[in-house]
Chain A
Amino acid sequence: MKNELVVDRHDAKLSMAHLYIAFAAVLLGGIAGLLQTLVRSGTIQLPAGIGYYQLLTAHGILLALVFTTYFIIGFFYAGMSRTMGKFYDQPYRMGWLGYIVMTIGTALTTVMVLLNEGTVLYTFYAPLKASPWFYIGLTLFIVGTWLAGGAMCHQYYIWKKVTHKKISPLFSFMAVMTMVLWFVATIGVAASVIFQFIPWSFGWVDEINILLSRTLFWYFGHPLVYFWLLPAYVCWYVIIPEIIGGKIFSDSLARLSFVLFLLFSIPVGFHHQLLESGISPFWKYLQVVLTFMVIVPSLMTAFSLFATFEIAGRKKGAKGLFGWFRALPWKDARFFAPMVGMLIFIPAGAGGIINASNQMNQIVHNTLWVTGHFHLTVASSVALTFFGIAYWLIPHLTGRVLTGRMHQIANLQTILWAIGMFFMSGAMHTVGLLGAPRRTAYTTYQDHPDALGWIPYEVTMAVGGSILFIAILLLMYIITDLAFFAPKGKEDFPIGEVAEAAEKTPVILENWRLWLGIATVLILVAYTVPVIHMIEHAPPGSPGYKFW
């Protein structure tokens, strides 16, 4: 069945405005990434006084923050407009305002990084002190995302009032849930930047509480990774079933998994601080337990997806235990890229469980293993899914079509990405286990035998990084073509339908007060006592340092 619905022309513009910036960030961040792998392996030295850590800061900000956030917001506007109808005036204007504020913030922070005034990496750990304008840029970026989230929530609110429906479309529910998760998460980093970093970097206060700033950052930093992941889950749950000619396995369970992400992805930040002083082992372990809870909705997701695949395959007449796997539309780029992303998420998720395993973290903490890990999760599972979305979303929004030839080129892109990542992330994981630190320029530590043994792996990383860069160039060709040159026409915006056998969705799943209430309680349980301890038993604060 063809979907006749098209995203409103104005909403399409708003969405595309976000996607342009998202993919420009991929190109710039990709160039930085390529150079990093070449520097780290000792292949080249950077010209013109560009620092390795300056590039690393740019790489992190452009890809982990700019690409992901702009893409997610653009995707959500389009999907909400597709499933709820055209944006109402007020939320629409708020959407543009958010875009402008975010973009001013992004530009300001980028300029500070280029001026070498903000070489503090995208985690900006105190007491390394950047220019106040670096932090102000980040603040504006966050405020812009709040306006975007506000626009989506407002749209959802008006839609419910106008239609008198108790249950919203699955896509819109998931989009709003993701933005609610983002609101709750960003409170931490915003509090830290506004009340700690900005006054301190302007010199209004002399000292900063290091442990508190790190705790507030990681209160935000872990749900941040779920903010990246959930939009990919939206694609896997809502879009993919339609593309493969199947049905959504269960609307209720899909919503339930998103509710569980809201509850369990936030009170878990200590698993990034397991090796730190000043937090007692009890509270660390408690948050490790909560971290493991968040694996349950991912297990639910895996089940639903493969159930959808199998049912769709069998309907097409696939035989045998695994015949349905072959029957999947492997040549369809809209399916292939997200599917490869999904498959990569299996080892990636397993690696994540290792990282979060309390004392086991000691083996891998701050080694290249961790870098390898998130290049599988966010830079493969999430990124490939986002690319797969862009392949139909951009032509849908620009009134063009994804041609058969473009399907082939896009599939080649996915294959190159998987191969490049196999070498790069595989080498990172391995050399990380041998002890090579992450976020470190080329070094042999005065020809220490241990460090010399890492070099072949670092060369492998550079080989993988080079393949990935070719994949990025190919991606740029595809995106440019789809946005400006592909044949005019109508590309579907696939939205899956729920299987007939599935039960009616319980209204309680859209009870925001209930879920936000439980989330708040969990956060208070996990954080109140240790945070009071870190404020009451704080050492004298630290002055700032500019060591670059």
Chain B
Amino acid sequence: MHMHKLERLWLMIGSGALILFLLVIGVNAFAMGHTPPSDSEILDPTQVDLTAPFDDPGLKKIGENEYELVLVAQAFTFQSNDEIKIPEGATVHFKVTSKDVVHGFQIPKTNVNMMITPGHINTITHTFDEAGQFLILCNEYCGVGHQAMGVPLEVIK
């Protein structure tokens, strides 16, 4: 099939740009470890309260300025036994599941954003370099109280 000379040039530049984009996100994902949250652990969604570590959700120190924050998403809150206060500069591993419907898990001003599907665990890690007020919110419609589903997260000096 004949293609106009300029059209060939246009498609070559366009496709070249696409390949470049794909290489950048591919290298960033697989060589630099920035793949999107894709945890493969599963559990019984009706037994969340009896399944470790979700039987005791909250903040646990696991290393030098390193924490695991286990949360149970449910309509319409994120359940935690501790207030969520994190020291400045700490790295936090979020580990979340849902005990009812699908929820979202997002912290504005950070790259923390993942889906919480019942029966699955999802994980994401973030280092809080600056002190301040943050907000964990649900960004997937989960029912009539969806807009109330948010809990504060404080990073303290």
Contact = CB atoms under 8 A, between A and B. Distances in A.
A159 interface: no
Contacts of A299: 10-11, 14-15
Interface stretch (A22-30, A397-405, A445-453, A518-526): A445-453
Contacts of A277: 37-41, 115, 117, 120-122
Interface in A384-426: none
Nearest to B141: A439
Given A210-B119, A299-B10, A437-B104, A451 B135 contact: yes
B140 interface: yes
Interface in A108-156: 119, 121, 125-128
A11 B13 CA distance: 44
Given A214-B117, A299-B10, A303-B11, A128 B36 contact: no
Given A211-B120, A292-B18, A353-B21, A547 B11 contact: no
A3 interface: no
A211 B41 CA distance: 13
A547 B102 contact: no
Nearest to B148: A443
Interface residues of B, number: 68
Interface in B103-129: 104, 106-109, 111-115, 117-122
A243 interface: no
A540 B99 CA distance: 12
Interface residues of A, number: 77
Contacts of A285: 25-26, 29-30, 35
B135 A274 contact: no
A548 B101 CA distance: 12
A117 B123 CA distance: 34
Interface in B1-42: 1-4, 6-7, 10-11, 14-15, 18, 21-22, 25-26, 28-30, 34-42
A275 B37 contact: yes
Contacts of B41: 277
A45 interface: no
A442 interface: yes
A347 interface: no
Interface string A360-386: 111101110000000000000000000
A307 interface: yes
B22 A539 contact: no
23 contacts: A125-B102, A127-B102, A128-B143, A211-B117, A211-B119, A274-B36, A276-B38, A285-B29, A288-B25, A289-B22, A299-B10, A358-B25, A358-B36, A359-B25, A366-B104, A366-B106, A367-B106, A438-B139, A445-B135, A445-B148, A539-B42, A545-B75, A547-B101
Interface of B: 1-4, 6-7, 10-11, 14-15, 18, 21-22, 25-26, 28-30, 34-46, 75, 100-102, 104, 106-109, 111-115, 117-122, 133-135, 137-148, 150, 152
Given A275-B122, A365-B139, A441-B147, 16 more contacts: A53-B143, A121-B141, A210-B118, A211-B117, A275-B113, A277-B40, A285-B26, A292-B22, A357-B25, A366-B113, A445-B148, A448-B133, A448-B135, A506-B1, A547-B100, A547-B143
